[in-house]
Structure 1
């Protein structure tokens, strides 16, 4: 089973970002990253002596810095700037403004679209050297550099203070895009979205007269304009308002020392991998599985309960992959956790008609198709982020499309999924449809409290394909486009917000949404991402980036 599971890319929270995030960077030892810092001003002053790096085409490092994880998108910038301080970001942006050269910024490089890497980019600002994680005593919040990866954050927060943020499973994703797009992950049904714990951002912005400066915008800023700028970074996506050089995290209402200001990371988690061979799956069984999975989420959606905290990914891989799969995580300390998990897993086997003799392992019922391990939280987090052979592979090409669903998947959509997953068009074996759970604590926040509008969705979907050779571009792109348009054929080929579907996820950006030949719904791309929140995002754009310096194909329009 494990070898089959490794063939799949677990795409999720971590994947993608409206403005990508940089892989790696210079990763300090956890102890160094967890050291306490002083105030925000002191941190900036201390860093002012640091010297960033500039890479030009003649530099041997240049080829490594002109693309991200998706090799479909390439750039040939005149220079790549790797700053170490906010002041150096300000200088790089000032150069782009005064010379009228288009810039882009990368934190981890996981952007699904060409927003960061394209032929028009002349100056690329890569934040990977700004990856520090510390506790800021003046702000009474945890400070995270804009180039840190999720694993940087998980290790530093957990090893230093025993806390965490509910971010994605792909640990090489950078925080820059993940957070600004409203990132989510395996702890989100238990603790909400990452932005539900965001306290402040430091942003490099450009004024109407072309001057460049940095500002700190917080949830509790006294100035309304600053509160609006903060709000725009709680799901408005990257690349629209400025460059975030630092994030501060503190759960609203939390008091006490650092150890009580963010969610406690679980001591141990149940981590389940499920694998069902396609040759044993009938069309009726497939339908029952997808229906059961969605109905279970509908019926177990209460924040604060054990079932409402269970997180699951359902991996509907193309038949050529050989199997369907699932990943399930649950905090083992929650009441009746083993029983809740066992019942959920048994229900998936039964839906497929593949129930079999079971054995009890780590307090959870295992079957011939599911294996559950009781893992320390950080070890399990590292494990689930790295078990897929393609997840961290920087040589793949890809296409992705997303949707939010407010109910279990309707039968007509399930039938369309099955047709496309079992067709003989032979896309990549890494093609499929990934369903990821939502709801729980996520749904306890108002759709206007942050820029994330889809608060009552119970799941996200990601239609995807990954491959290696340019000659396979056409068939893989066509497969994903066809599958997506057929599933949402009733609403113009896209998941129009209604009683069932609820638009798309900005961190899984999809350039086709802007094409009226593909999106025939009449609903513009920005309303699919942000619904009624778009008008306020435009107001913030006009106030903070009136010259539209920070833009890409699907950035907020002034």
Structure 2
């Protein structure tokens, strides 16, 4: 892959991976007495403008607002929104900058940048951990683990910020064992704008008696950029009582055991490729129950495009497990054997490595590869294995060497387990039946033919879901698509011929409720983008 790390897009690239939006508390409850940073307004003549314009992961898009508003407190966000609405300027928000689509830059006249709000702490008054929207996942993991020995089951891309990641659902290597990130969302603070355009901060909680509860619910998978600007999240396990911080979030493994399985494209037939994809999916079908030892194992199958020359690592399966699970080494070896059973050529498995959990996460998160580049990604939830016809589409696109296909990727990621124990309506994350997530991805560099790369990945996705109008319509072996991996093609009738609206693909039966939340908390549609929740008509 060119400049975009394949790990870097896991779980973190949020629906508004850059912009996280929600609603929260009364201003007095939100504020810090002394702003520790900002506000800073940066206009095009300011030399800092170009740095802020470059602060993004997907270099396909470049925001050019009238100004960037860099904020350091909830009060500053309120003031920034009030100013933008008063001046009738279109406002968007950015936390980490990891967005598949141009939701931040498209038509934005004011970009509110949350990088100055990056604190992670324990809030004794609320009895929960407070994570500000601009904190990156790696910052959050480090602070939670070193401070209290706990973590959240979030993504591997350390540069993704909490703002968009959590609002869209959030998942990662610990999700099969512990569930989604939003399953631990206790409360959220959001800056919203009322019908008159006046901004205020609101805190919404998990408590069903909270009059703002619907706003909390919308941020458990409703995606960023819909209802307001998220400034802070509070996280704790809803099933744990007491006030000891060390007991209020999951404890990560002390040590991780990991290895990598490798297959070469040389000698890989279409029949063998079908078997490989089916084996990977069937392992997850067999081990989809929560609580078993296999729930602690996470593996992702990366099918990279065949290179012009033989590439022995063309298909890669990195996998990891809690080293303290009884028989961990055997479970990991059995996983590689099960995925490679009956596949030619044989799998080559690297020697296993042991590392402390945070060191392992830091290495996996950074990987020595930039998370920036030009890319187009498309996603789907998979409830069952690919059909042979779907596997053949992937083989035809990736198994033939070419200038475009060599930078393409089919990525299957382990899912399910504890995730699927939550009812679909309990959170805005409606899909709770899948065993895998799937990403179609292509990357390219400046000077390469971007149009050809876009056409390639669009045809791969369209062909994979040809039976359902070119898009992952929920039903059969598919569970729709993940809003943190947004794809505007799903709303384009040229690529979506299913007759099923994009909102059903991403939100299913939960969309009508999200629209009601939108009508209550953002009646002027101040916060919107190409795939934002629409006001009801």
TM-score (norm 2): 0.94
Size of the aligned set, in residue pairs, is 524
SS at match of 2:359: helix
Please give the alpha-carbon distance, in whole angstroms, between the structure 2 residues aligned to 1:504 and 1:339.
34
Instruction: Please list, as runs of the form range in 1=range in 2, the aligned pairs for 1:26-41 lying within 5 A after superposition.
Output: none
Q: Which residue of 2 aligns with 1:70?
A: 58
Q: Deviations over 1:116-170 (max 9, x none)?
A: 122x110000101100000000000000111000001000000000000000011
Please give the alpha-carbon distance, in whole angstroms, between the structure 2 residues aligned to 1:41 and 1:99.
25
Q: Which residue of 1 aligns with 2:431?
A: 454
Q: Which residue of 2 aligns with 1:214?
A: 201
Please give the alpha-carbon distance, in whole angstroms, between the structure 1 residues aligned to 2:385 and 2:29.
51
Q: 2:214 aligns with which of 228, 236, 239?
A: 228
Please give the alpha-carbon distance, in whole angstroms, between the structure 2 residues aligned to 1:203 and 1:42.
12
Q: 1:160 aligns with which of 147, 164, 180?
A: 147
**Structure 1 unaligned regions, length at least 5:** 24-38, 356-366
Cα 1:61–1:176, aligned 2, differ >3 Å: closer, same or farther? same
Please give the alpha-carbon distance, in whole angstroms, between the structure 1 residues aligned to 2:223 and 2:320.
27
Q: Deviations over 1:278-319 (max 9, x none)?
A: 224232221111000001101110101111232111001111
Instruction: Please list, as runs of the form range in 1=range in 2, the aligned pairs for 1:271-420 lying within 5 A after superposition.
Output: 271-320=258-307, 322=311, 323-355=314-346, 368-387=348-367, 389=369, 392-394=370-372, 396-420=373-397
Residue 423 of structure 1: how far off its partner (Å): 3.3
**Structure 2 unaligned regions, length at least 5:** 21-25
Determine whether 1:519 maps to 2:506: no
Please give the alpha-carbon distance, in whole angstroms, between the structure 2 residues aligned to 1:368 and 1:6.
26
SS at match of 1:72: coil
Moved more, 214-223 or 498-507: 214-223
Please give the alpha-carbon distance, in whole angstroms, between the structure 1 residues aligned to 2:217 and 2:259.
36
Structure 2 contact 410–441 (Cα < 8 Å) conserved? yes
Please give the alpha-carbon distance, in whole angstroms, between the structure 2 residues aligned to 1:550 and 1:135.
30
RMSD: 2.1
Q: Which residue of 2 aligns with 1:443?
A: 420
Please give the alpha-carbon distance, in whole angstroms, between the structure 1 residues aligned to 2:298 and 2:193.
40
Q: Deviations over 1:220-243 (max 9, x none)?
A: 16334x110000000000000000
Residue 372 of structure 1: how far off its partner (Å): 2.0
TM-score (norm 1): 0.90
Q: Deviations over 1:225-279 (max 9, x none)?
A: x110000000000000000000000010212300000000110111222222222
Please give the alpha-carbon distance, in whole angstroms, between the structure 1 residues aligned to 2:80 and 2:523.
19
Determine whether 1:255 maps to 2:235: no
SS at match of 1:66: helix
Residue 436 of structure 1: how far off its partner (Å): 0.7
Cα 1:528–1:22, aligned 2, differ >3 Å: closer, same or farther? closer
Please give the alpha-carbon distance, in whole angstroms, between the structure 2 residues aligned to 1:208 and 1:132.
31
Q: 2:18 aligns with which of 17, 21, 26?
A: 21
SS at match of 1:279: coil
Please give the alpha-carbon distance, in whole angstroms, between the structure 2 residues aligned to 1:477 and 1:6.
16
Cα 1:265–1:15, aligned 2, differ >3 Å: closer, same or farther? closer
Residue 41 of structure 1: how far off its partner (Å): 5.6
Structure 1 contact 6–387 (Cα < 8 Å) conserved? no
Residue 341 of structure 1: how far off its partner (Å): 1.3
Residue 112 of structure 1: how far off its partner (Å): 0.5
Cα 1:312–1:404, aligned 2, differ >3 Å: closer, same or farther? same
Please give the alpha-carbon distance, in whole angstroms, between the structure 2 residues aligned to 1:7 and 1:108.
15
Structure 1 contact 16–509 (Cα < 8 Å) conserved? no
SS at match of 2:209: coil
Residue 50 of structure 1: how far off its partner (Å): 4.6
Structure 1 contact 15–111 (Cα < 8 Å) conserved? no
Residue 45 of structure 1: how far off its partner (Å): 3.1
Residue 63 of structure 1: how far off its partner (Å): 1.2
